[in-house]
Structure 1
Amino acid sequence: MAGSAHRGGAAAGHVAEHGAGGAATRPSDYIWALARISIGWVFLWAFLDKTFGWGFGTPADRAWVGGASPTTGYLKGTARKPLGAVFSPLAGHAWADWLFMLGLLGIGVALILGVGLRLAAVLGGLLLLLMWAAELPPEHNPFMDYRLVYALVIVGLALVNAGDTLGFGRWWGNTALVRRYPFLR
């Protein structure tokens, strides 16, 4: 009897605190949301800087809008790495530039808005894994670097539905498109 009264009290408290249809938002949900937005900004900033050459990572004379290739510097720099024979020849091809830049933009926007996190986790994880492989071995560690850490965090963000807090994830998940194709969640 006491157990059922306790469960009823807890449920009533939950409804009073979060509303009849709402899910609880814990402090950790905000941390995950801030991590999502932060990593999204890393991707979006890379896109913007490479596109416009704002001088942080890309000088103005190497901007994509000025005709420079956003993949050339990085991929040509992998020529002496163990997998350089795989990655270096891809440098400067228009299709590689477009895939890379659309990936940065799409992953960044998805993470910042909190929509399409499953797809962003797969594509972002793949992009980061390829960039990690191109740099093998990493400069400061035998195998681990920030790209692998970001990939793991992005997957975690998708698994905990981090787009629902400070994002449009809950709304996105209830759209007809996402209900029909849940991998877009």
Structure 2
Amino acid sequence: MTAARTATAVAAKPLALQAEIVTSVTARRWLAVTRFATGFIFLWAFLDKTFGLGFSTPIERAWINGGTPAQGFLNSPAVVGPLQPFFQSIASPLVDVLFMAGMLGVGAAIMLGIGTRVAAVAGTAIMVMMYLAEWPFMVGSTNPLVDYHIIYALALIVVAATMAGDTWGLGAMWKKLPLVQRFRWLV
């Protein structure tokens, strides 16, 4: 069976049966570990930027102390390249709220194993925007094509595509909800 036929056959199966794609118990457990680690990256960024835990955000620049997490990044020297004017033009309190909501939502959803498709799309969008803001195509970049933003985006996509939320997560229960049954994109 070709890859296209396999993908079509899998998509046609009920949600409960799609997890059979990855049947090895060991593989499913490692996917769950990858899910937890990836979700925690987003959740940690939210917590550190909200409370200024002192890792990447000092307490005086914490969101709860009036800090501006997205604006701080978008107006920093890290944002370079031809898209710099665009990214600096969107720096606003609204973008701070959207960024922080995105980090919390993606982190919580991925760690819980629910709404992984939506979280993967949102998280990938965040990562691609940050990737483009830092413009890795310049001389002096450590890798002009693949950096940690791309790896995180790929990890989110793998987690969603393999139904990794079903193992050590709430994904299987989530898929049984009538709303999720009706709107499959919420998986």
Question: When the two structures are superposed, what TM-score results if normalisation uses the length of structure 2?
Answer: 0.83
Structural RMSD (CA): 1.6
CA distance in 1, matches of 2:38, 2:99: 17
Q: In the alignment, which residue of structure 2 is the partner of 1:107? A: 106
Larger radius of gyration: 1
1:116 matched to 2:115? The reply is yes
Matched residue count: 163
State how 1:24-173 maps to structure 2 within 5 Å. 26-77=25-76, 78-91=78-91, 93-137=92-136, 139-173=141-175
User: Secondary structure of the equivalent of 1:30?
Assistant: helix
Unaligned stretches of 5+ residues in structure 2: 1-18
CA distance in 2, matches of 1:79, 1:162: 33
CA distance in 2, matches of 1:145, 1:117: 22
> Any runs of at least 4 consecutive aligned residues in structure 1 with deviations exceeding 3 A, and if so which?
22-25
Q: Contact 2:80/2:133 (CA < 8 Å) preserved in 1?
A: no
Question: When the two structures are superposed, what TM-score results if normalisation uses the length of structure 1?
Answer: 0.84
User: Secondary structure of the equivalent of 1:144?
Assistant: coil
Q: 1:80 to 1:129 in 2, by over 3 A?
A: closer
Q: Contact 1:79/1:85 (CA < 8 Å) preserved in 2?
A: no
Q: Contact 1:25/1:165 (CA < 8 Å) preserved in 2?
A: no
**Cα displacement (A) at 1:137:** 1.5
Q: In the alignment, which residue of structure 2 is the partner of 1:175? A: 177
Q: Deviations over 1:28-68 (max 9, x none)?
A: 00000000010100100000000000101100000000111
* Letter of the 1:153 counterpart: A
Q: Contact 2:48/2:56 (CA < 8 Å) preserved in 1?
A: yes
User: Secondary structure of the equivalent of 2:165?
Assistant: helix
Q: 1:159 to 1:62 in 2, by over 3 A?
A: same
CA distance in 2, matches of 1:178, 1:137: 38
CA distance in 2, matches of 1:79, 1:166: 38
Higher relative contact order (CA 8 A, sep 6+): 2
